[in-house]
């Protein structure tokens, strides 16, 4: 397709945030063009099919707080009959046992000696949050005590985000972390029936057939003016132009960008932005999606996912697609995902296929969780940008970057555009709100 040389609104990135921005612009009858570097739309919420297996990029479950049902999500064209509402069943693998998650509200399930140590240390937990330099590690230790922090909270989060918790701000993951609520912790120590903890993911939605890519299909239905295979290679803020690897220069008046903020700053060639962006760091996640012949081990029969804090085990989480969506593999088989966190700079130095994958499979076998002879297929998905790091440097840099981009009519959207720790619903909503806000300013 020949691309226009000038366009009023340009949208960078064709994941759910870019698609939502494009749909909102389309609804407002504004002229736009969306550019995506990959051959397919959907970003991290794509689903791939391999024979009878259906793998998401990694486990992606729709948590809703603003909207009651998938059918209420603006522009997504979703039919509630095709979605199941699921109550989460997840565990933590600690002391060789499966402990219900969140572990901090289920301490009575720990082996006896660990339980007593956790209770004692909880009762003696220090108060470390008064200092302006308090870290995410201080938040854990103050909230739950040293023993539980060392046993689970610190290694689990360090494996996931591939960074020392000493470097993260005390409120690094905010609502995504079950809070240090004394009533819930004490209730879990007493092994009383769980109180309603109402965490962000205690229930979620998932398609009854296929994978989370259904959300992408819904958003892209009827959308006009999307161009794929368009890798943006430079952004000139003063001239308001961009170049892609396959097309010439395109002029724009307004930009909505869902590509990672750090990459956007680098593409501008602007020294101030590049310098501020050097304070932004993130982890990568490698997801090994594995199709297995036969059922899962009986202990995983009705589990959705498992957290694995043990540093000797290479992965931080194992999820069971086939316990979540019945359409993710043929009946009688099973489909799982296994996530490994890496510092972003290590991805290109790691031989994923010949080194990391065999280690992952071997470790699953050593644990007795799979028999490698049952592996039918494996797909590796690399998420170069997985968890953005909320550090004090990030918070300072973000203010500088966002206000400078605004001067040039560039509005970042989505989890990576805004360099934030958010889920799919927030990403879509940030895109819709940004387009509506700019539309209002233009009509005032
Ligand atoms: C391990 C993991 C698990 C997660 N689990 C959940 C979950 O269970 N539930 C939930 O709600 N959320 C989850 N999330 C978060 C969710 O993935 C994001 O909120 C959401 O996918 C963000 O969508 P997006 O469109 O903003 O970004 P993306 O999906 O990353 O889309 C950005 C797009 O920009 C394109 N792009 C990048 N650079 C360029 C360039 N130079 N030129 C052109 N195009 C470019 C990319 O190819 C991509 O298609 C998870 C995230 C991770 C990492």
* pLDDT beyond 90 at 442: no
Query: What would the mean pLDDT of 235-240 be, rounded to a whole number?
Result: 97
- For residue 279, the CA-to-ligand 1 centroid distance in Å is 21
Cβ 318 vs Cβ 305: under 8 Å: yes
pLDDT at 200: 62
In whole angstroms, how large is the CA radius of gyration of the chain?
A: 23
Residue 51, domain member (yes or no): no
Q: Which of 19, 424, 426, 430 to mutate to test ligand 1, by most ligand atoms within 8 A of the CB atom?
A: 424
Q: From CA 205, how far away is CA 415, in angstroms rounded?
A: 20
- pLDDT confidence of 191, banded at 50, 70, 90? confident
What residues does ligand 1 touch, defined as CB less than 6 Å away?
Answer: 12-18, 35-38, 43-45, 58-61, 63, 230-232, 258-259, 263, 285, 339, 383, 386, 414-416, 422-424, 427
The overall pTM is greater than 0.85 = yes
Domain membership of residue 331 as a residue range:
283-383
* pLDDT beyond 70 at 196: no
Give which of 216, 227, 228 is closest to 48, Cα–Cα. Answer: 216
Query: What would the mean pLDDT of 43-50 be, rounded to a whole number?
Result: 96
Tally the domains of the chain.
3
Cβ 282 vs Cβ 262: under 8 Å: yes
pLDDT at 4: 77
Centre a 10 Å sphere on the Cβ of residue 318 and count the other Cβ atoms it contains.
25
CATH code of 363's domain: 3.90.660.10
Of the residues 200, 235, 259, the one at which a domain ends: 200
Mean pLDDT of the chain: 94
CATH code of 219's domain: 3.50.50.60
* pLDDT beyond 70 at 119: yes
Cβ 88 vs Cβ 204: under 8 Å: yes
Atom of ligand 1 at shortest distance to CA of 244?
Answer: 42
Among 1-10, 192-201, 247-256, 355-364, which range has the highest average pLDDT?
Answer: 355-364
Across the chain, how many H-helices and E-strands are there?
13, 18
- Tokens coding 60: 């992606």
Q: Are residues 226 and 179 in the same domain?
A: no
Of the residues 200, 230, 262, the one at which a domain ends: 200
Q: Are residues 185 and 112 in the same domain?
A: yes
Q: From CA 54, how far away is CA 370, in angstroms rounded?
A: 19
Q: Are residues 225 and 181 in the same domain?
A: no
For 32: left if phi > 0, alpha if psi spans -120 to 50, otherwise beta; the answer is beta
pLDDT at 327: 85
* pLDDT beyond 60 at 391: yes
* pLDDT beyond 80 at 1: no
Say what the alpha-carbon torsion angle 439, 440, 443, 444 is, to the nearest 10 degrees: -150
Residue 411, domain member (yes or no): yes
pLDDT one-digit tens code per residue, 150-171: 999 999 999 999 999 999 999 8
Residue 432, domain member (yes or no): yes
- For residue 15, the CA-to-ligand 1 centroid distance in Å is 6
Cβ 412 vs Cβ 276: under 8 Å: no
* pLDDT beyond 70 at 444: no
């Amino acid at each position: 397709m020949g691309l226009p040389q000038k366009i009023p609104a340009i949208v960078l990135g064709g994941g759910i945030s870019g698609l939502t921005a494009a749909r909102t612009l389309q609804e407002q009858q504004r002229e736009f063009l969306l550019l995506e570097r990959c051959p397919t739309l959907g970003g991290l919420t794509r689903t791939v099919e391999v024979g009878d297996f259906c793998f998401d990029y990694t486990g992606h479950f729709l948590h809703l707080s603003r909207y009651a049902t998938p059918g209420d999500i603006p522009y997504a064209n979703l039919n509630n009959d095709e979605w199941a509402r699921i109550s989460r069943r997840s565990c933590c693998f600690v002391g060789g046992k499966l402990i219900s998650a969140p572990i901090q509200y289920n301490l009575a399930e720990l082996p006896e000696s660990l339980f007593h140590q956790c209770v004692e240390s909880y009762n003696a937990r220090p108060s470390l949050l008064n200092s302006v330099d308090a870290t995410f590690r201080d938040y854990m230790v103050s909230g739950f005590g040293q023993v539980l922090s060392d046993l689970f909270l610190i290694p689990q989060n360090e494996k996931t985000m591939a960074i020392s918790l000493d470097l993260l701000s005390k409120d690094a993951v905010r609502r995504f972390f079950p809070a240090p609520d004394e009533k819930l912790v004490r209730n879990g120590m007493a092994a009383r029936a769980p109180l309603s903890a109402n965490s962000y993911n205690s229930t979620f939605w998932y398609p009854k057939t296929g994978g989370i890519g259904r959300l992408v299909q819904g958003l892209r239905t009827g959308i006009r003016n999307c161009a794929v295979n368009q890798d943006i290679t430079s952004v000139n803020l003063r001239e308001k132009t961009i170049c892609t690897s396959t097309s010439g220069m395109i002029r724009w008046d307004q930009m909505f960008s869902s590509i990672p903020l750090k990459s956007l700053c680098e593409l501008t060639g602007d020294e101030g932005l590049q310098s501020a962006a050097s304070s932004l760091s993130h982890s990568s996640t490698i997801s090994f999606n594995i199709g297995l012949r036969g059922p899962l081990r009986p202990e995983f029969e009705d589990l959705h996912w498992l957290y694995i804090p043990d540093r000797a085990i290479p992965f931080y989480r194992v999820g069971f697609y086939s316990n979540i969506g019945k359409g993710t593999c043929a009946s009688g088989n099973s489909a799982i995902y296994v996530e490994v966190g890496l510092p972003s700079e290590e991805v290109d130095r790691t031989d994923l296929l010949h080194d990391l994958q065999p280690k992952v499979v071997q470790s699953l076998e050593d644990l007795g969780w799979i028999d490698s002879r049952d592996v039918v297929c494996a797909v590796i998905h690399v998420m170069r940008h997985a968890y953005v790091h909320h550090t004090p440097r990030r918070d300072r840099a973000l203010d500088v970057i966002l206000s400078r981009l605004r001067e040039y009519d560039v509005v970042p959207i989505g989890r990576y555009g805004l360099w934030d720790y958010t889920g799919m619903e927030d990403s879509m909503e940030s895109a819709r709100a940004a387009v509506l806000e700019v539309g209002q300013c233009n009509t005032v």
